[in-house]
Structure 1
């Protein structure tokens, strides 16, 4: 069982559907495999992708699965989801 899952959104940043699928899949996989931390890397850029990820994680059907979300301290291009 991995300690942490990492999802790098750089290769798919142009496709909203792929981004949604990647984030949802990571959350469900973490629950299924009892992973404690998912690291999502939207990158720095304009911040639009990070805000999209945070808004998605705030939806009730996903929020019920994790304990908290934090934006990586010292690294704005990282979102940490704690289970």
Structure 2
């Protein structure tokens, strides 16, 4: 079994921090609280498709392939914290 260790070699610069829309910040916050797209859709009174659209944008902006990786990267960059 391979084990991975989270490493941060250099501090984040302003160039590293992607610009997020207010809605993306809100969705990222709910993701950091462990909510699914369906749960976030209910909370924000939006469709699950809309939430998944914003999640795809977040993954692209953070250059990651999962919502969990996006949350971890946002934490690393100081953009959100764990609740």
TM-score > 0.5, shorter chain as reference? no
Report which of the two has the higher share of helix: 2
Report which of the two has the higher share of strand: 1
Q: Return the TM-score normalized by structure 1.
A: 0.31
Greater Cα radius of gyration, structure 1 or 2: 2
Q: Return the TM-score normalized by structure 2.
A: 0.31
